[in-house]
Amino acid sequence: MKLSGWGNFPVVDCQLSRPRNEEELANAVMASRAIARGNGRAYGDSALSRTNTIDMRKFNHMLSFDPETGQLVAEAGVLLSDIIAAFLPRGWFPAVTPGTRFVSLGGMVAADVHGKNHHIDGSFGNCVDWLDVMTPDGEIMRCSRAENTELFEWTMGGMGLTGVVLRVALRLRSVETGWIRQTTHVAQNLDDAIDLFEDTLDATYSVAWIDCLSTGETLGRSLVMLGEHATLDELPGTCRANRFPSVTAQKLGVPFNLPGFCLNQYSVRAFNALYYWNGQRGDTTSYVNWNSYFYPLDSIRDWNRIYGRKGFAQFQCVLPLDSARAGLNEMLKEISESGRGSFLAVLKRFGQQDSRFSFPMEGYTLALDFPMSDRSVSLIQKLGQMTAAHGGRIYLAKDSIMDAQSLRATDATRVSEFERIRHNSGAAERFASVQSERLKL
Amino acid sequence: MSIGPVLILGARSDIALATAHSYAELGHPIQLAARKSETLQTAKEDLEIRYQVQVTLHDFDVLDLENQAEFIDALPELPEIAVCAVGVLGDQDSDEQDHLAAVQVMRANYEGPASILALLANRFEQRGSGTLVGISSVAGERGRATNYIYGSAKAGFTAFLSGLRNRLANTGVHVVTVLPGFVDTKMTENLDLPNKLTAQPSEVGEAIVRATRKHKNVIYVKPIWALVMTVIRYIPEPLFKKMRI
Ligand SMILES: Cc1cc2nc3c(=O)[nH]c(=O)nc-3n(C[C@H](O)[C@H](O)[C@H](O)COP(=O)(O)OP(=O)(O)OC[C@H]3O[C@@H](n4cnc5c(N)ncnc54)[C@H](O)[C@@H]3O)c2cc1C
Ligand SMILES: NC(=O)c1ccc[n+]([C@@H]2O[C@H](COP(=O)([O-])OP(=O)(O)OC[C@H]3O[C@@H](n4cnc5c(N)ncnc54)[C@H](OP(=O)(O)O)[C@@H]3O)[C@@H](O)[C@H]2O)c1
């Protein structure tokens, strides 16, 4: 059947199986080179295999929960949205969450996802105690920082290429309420925004939305949004009455693929201006419910369709601290001159991270969407070269464009080590995605 | 509305489990009854962790008619709601040639389910409250060459449910007939189902909970099926018998 990632590009005809138990999974894994698929939220081709894509969503059971430690053991196909629905009313929230709650635990492990608190809490791997992984021989191996360490470390961020994650033991964070105290700061340009990040490193959550069409003095003008979990005491009465707000039904929806021209420069520009001025005028501190704070896009069902049939690509890089300022200014200039940038430009400060194959490193990460076209592809390639030149990396969970050479231009040492590990464990024979083939991993 | 226990018969089915989730979410304790019920241990824990309700497992074979009364007596409590999801699609082509196999399909879709619901109906009637939910099928609305063995048994089950509803109308016991069109489950795993006409098990579960709350009599899950079946029912027989649908 025809499958794609969240960006609807590329669309690939894939053989898909939906195993229900370990035996069926082992049969699927042993059948031919395979890749696990979670909830399809990676943008590109990470979770696609022409001959053997394994849908893990039938493995969707929660297995145990310890209210003393907040440790949840669950199967890899469980969605983060289900975890929040079950545990937020009891005062628990994911310790690390990406910008959508419709991701599976397996996908979160495979991409070692990061949230707005990376500079404080690190990536998802930091809250994982152990994993059960089906290895290339179809056996299940428990791995953690203490046992089968190598498997644990390479699976975290290994994009499904070391084995199939079956079970995850993760720690949730205890929260008093489902509300976030949000403070919004206006940054006149990119340097301003970076200064703001550096001055607020103790904020639990931080992220900036960038108007990536502004130029000159205001290049990179943005709203920097900081957040803290609100305590019950500080909440205004109306919020306190609704201590753990639940998700209200998704009202908006994009019923069909909109033609690409709806997304022209003008609408993007209008959106950006609105966003910017709103933030500047409005109160700088407000209480926002968890859903609109962490997952603003989740309430627009199928928003990826606004890019039309051709789909879109997301570019996300991270640049190390010392070159971030210069590098990001250069990139934003390139983007704004092209006039092709989306209204979704996000900037985030990463804290330190030392891991085998995960994306984050200490520095700044920039992410934005491009409607798919030849010109977008060459722009993304160019941004990739700039990333390499500044010693940065590209996020595989978002990538659909890079080639083998450009990957190695950004990450040569880790890539060759990854190849060696995959070769030695037999994973190279067993696990491959359209992406890993493109990147010759 | 009280939140008494919900008995799910045929609990290993995807539709049955999705229905269990929908009820558990509202706080109902769940009784899962199925063949080899020990295989539902993970499902039980999952329900308990997610919704903090009590879940019990019970061995149940719908064709073990002699022991049905005993089965009910052994439940921790007479349920407030009972949902029967038991069903067997069979293999039409081979069952046409093997009348005993065909009879098994008929029994599992009609005789067994009707019998257990009849017993429960009497207990509910005596108590003066409760809801019975029977999952039948649109296949019972008109016999077709491609699945009339299954369809005819479902037709019998649908008629049984409607009769039961009629009988119990003034007793405080309600009967819901569920007529799903295509549903994406184990049963239909190998069929190429049209996307627009196919419901997810969770949609069926939610529809069932809504129907019990609102005292609906007959539901189709996806409304389009009401239309489709009206058209199919009105095709004149001389024409219908020549069609392959
Ligand atoms: C709106 C939006 C916002 C996002 N925001 C962020 C963000 O803030 N931070 C961030 O880090 N990411 C973000 N992402 C990316 C997303 O978190 C990752 O792509 C994640 O991997 C998606 O999980 P999934 O279950 O959908 O996996 P899929 O897309 O199905 O698969 C992704 C990868 O995980 C592997 N995989 C999936 N399940 C398993 C398994 N059981 N065993 C082994 N491998 C497996 C696949 O092989 C593939 O390589 C965002 C995505 C969207 C759409
Ligand atoms: N899927 C569809 O498109 C569709 C459409 C319309 C109606 N339906 C009806 O929906 C109901 C649920 O079906 P499903 O789609 O979820 O398929 P399913 O998984 O095949 O469910 C049928 C269930 O019935 C159980 N069962 C069969 N014989 C039994 C017996 N003798 N005793 C006890 N249990 C028995 C099976 O148990 P085991 O697991 O032990 O085999 C199975 O769990 C069925 O009544 C079906 O006819 C389905």
The predicted-structure confidence for B69-78, as pLDDT tens digits, reads as follows: 999 999 999 9
Residue type, A199: D
Please report the pLDDT score of residue B191 as a whole number: 85
Q: What is the pLDDT of residues B27-58, one digit of tens each?
A: 999 999 999 999 999 999 999 999 999 999 99
pLDDT at B131 over 80: yes
Q: Each residue of B47-61: b (16+ CB within 10 Å) or e? A: bbbbbebebbbbebb
Give chain A's end-to-end CA distance (angstroms, integer). 25
Task: With 0.90 as the threshold, say if the pTM is over it.
Answer: yes
Q: Is residue A134 part of a domain?
A: yes
Please report the pLDDT score of residue A262 as a whole number: 45
B150 is catalytic: yes
DSSP element (H, E) containing A113: none
Rounded CA-CA distance A52/B11 in Å is 30
Rounded CA-CA distance B23/B42 in Å is 18
Mind telling me how many Å the CA of B202 is from chain A's nearest CA?
13
The B-side interface with A (CB below 8 A) comprises: 42-43, 45-46, 49-51, 186, 189
Q: Is residue A270 part of a domain?
A: yes
Q: For A231, which DSSP code?
A: P
Q: Looking at the structure, do residues A272 and A292 belong to the same domain, yes or no?
A: yes
Q: Looking at the structure, do residues A91 and A10 belong to the same domain, yes or no?
A: no
Please report the pLDDT score of residue B46 as a whole number: 98
Q: Looking at the structure, do residues A305 and A341 belong to the same domain, yes or no?
A: yes
Phi first, then psi, for residue B177 (nearest 5°) are: -105, 125
Q: Looking at the structure, do residues A143 and A80 belong to the same domain, yes or no?
A: yes
Q: Is residue A151 part of a domain?
A: yes
Catalytic one among B23, B51, B148, B150?
A: B150
Interface test with A, best of B13, B46, B184, B193 (most A CBs within 10 A): B46
Mean pLDDT of chain B: 96
Q: Looking at the structure, do residues A299 and A200 belong to the same domain, yes or no?
A: yes
CATH number assigned to the domain comprising residue A71: 3.30.465.10
CATH number assigned to the domain comprising residue A385: 3.30.70.2520
User: Which of residues A174, A196, A221 is at a domain's end?
Assistant: A174
pLDDT at B22 over 60: yes
Name the residue with the closest Cα to ligand 1, atom 49: A159
Q: Looking at the structure, do residues A150 and A14 belong to the same domain, yes or no?
A: no
Q: How far away, in angstroms, is B63 Cα from ligand 2 center? A: 13
Q: Looking at the structure, do residues A160 and A265 belong to the same domain, yes or no?
A: no
Residues of chain B contacting A21 with CB distance shorter than 8 Å: none
Q: Looking at the structure, do residues A189 and A304 belong to the same domain, yes or no?
A: yes
**In a structure prediction context, what are the per-residue pLDDT tens digits for chain A, which is 441 residues long?**
999 999 999 999 999 999 999 999 999 999 999 999 999 999 999 999 999 999 999 999 999 999 999 999 999 999 999 999 999 999 999 999 999 999 999 999 999 999 999 999 999 999 999 999 999 999 999 999 999 999 999 999 999 999 999 999 999 999 999 999 999 888 989 999 999 999 999 999 999 988 887 889 989 988 899 999 999 999 999 999 999 999 865 445 554 554 444 444 554 565 566 566 656 665 578 899 999 899 988 877 788 887 888 999 999 999 999 999 999 999 999 998 887 767 668 999 999 999 999 999 999 999 999 989 999 999 999 999 999 999 999 999 999 999 999 999 999 999 999 999 999 999 999 999 999 999 999
Interface test with B, best of A18, A59, A60, A62 (most B CBs within 10 A): A62
Instruction: Name A420's Cβ contacts closer than 8 Å, sequence gap at least 6.
Output: none
Verify whether the Cβ–Cβ distance A61 to B51 is below 8 Å.
no
Q: Is residue A409 part of a domain?
A: no
Q: How far away, in angstroms, is A307 Cα from ligand 1 center? A: 20
Q: How far away, in angstroms, is A299 Cα from ligand 2 center? A: 34
pLDDT at B179 over 60: yes
Rounded CA-CA distance B176/B173 in Å is 10
Residues of chain A contacting B17 with CB distance shorter than 8 Å: none
Q: What range defines the domain where residue A337 resides?
A: 179-403
Q: Looking at the structure, do residues A258 and A359 belong to the same domain, yes or no?
A: yes
Q: List, in sequence order, the alpha helices (H) in A390-403.
A: none
Using DSSP, state whether B82 is helix, strand or coil: strand
Angle at A177 between CA A172 and CA A179, to 5 degrees: 105
Q: How far away, in angstroms, is B238 Cα from ligand 1 center? A: 55
Verify whether the Cβ–Cβ distance A82 to B43 is below 8 Å.
no
Query: Residue A127 corresponds to which tokens in the numbers above?
Result: 């809250």
List C-alpha distances in Å: A165 to A34, A61, A131. Answer: 13, 14, 7
Q: Looking at the structure, do residues A375 and A235 belong to the same domain, yes or no?
A: yes
Q: List, in sequence order, the alpha helices (H) in B98-147.
A: 99-106, 112-127
Q: Looking at the structure, do residues A44 and A84 belong to the same domain, yes or no?
A: no
Q: How far away, in angstroms, is A109 Cα from ligand 1 center? A: 8
Residues of chain B contacting A63 with CB distance shorter than 8 Å: 42, 45-46, 49
Using DSSP, state whether B2 is helix, strand or coil: coil
Please report the pLDDT score of residue A223 as a whole number: 86
If one residue of B15, B152, B177, B191 were mutated to test the ligand 2 pocket, choosing by the most ligand atoms within 8 A of its CB, it would be B15
User: Which of residues A112, A139, A174 is at a domain's end?
Assistant: A174
Please report the pLDDT score of residue A256 as a whole number: 54
Q: Is residue A412 part of a domain?
A: no
Q: Which residues line ligand 2 (CB under 6 A)?
A: B 10, 12-15, 34-35, 60-63, 85-88, 108, 112, 135, 137, 180, 182-183, 185-188
Q: Looking at the structure, do residues A188 and A162 belong to the same domain, yes or no?
A: no
Count of domains for chain A: 3
Q: Is residue A101 part of a domain?
A: yes
Q: Which atom of ligand 2 is nearest to the CA of B61?
A: 32
Domains of chain B: 6-240 (3.40.50.720)
Q: Which residues line ligand 1 (CB under 6 A)?
A: A 5-6, 35-42, 46-47, 56, 76, 98-100, 103-104, 106-108, 110-111, 113-115, 159-160, 164-165, 297, 397, 433
Rounded CA-CA distance A104/A111 in Å is 11
Residues of chain A contacting B45 with CB distance shorter than 8 Å: 61-64
User: Which of residues A131, A154, A174 is at a domain's end?
Assistant: A174
Angle at A150 between CA A148 and CA A154, to 5 degrees: 125
Q: Is residue A274 part of a domain?
A: yes
Q: Which atom of ligand 2 is nearest to the CA of B184?
A: 1
Q: Is residue A283 part of a domain?
A: yes
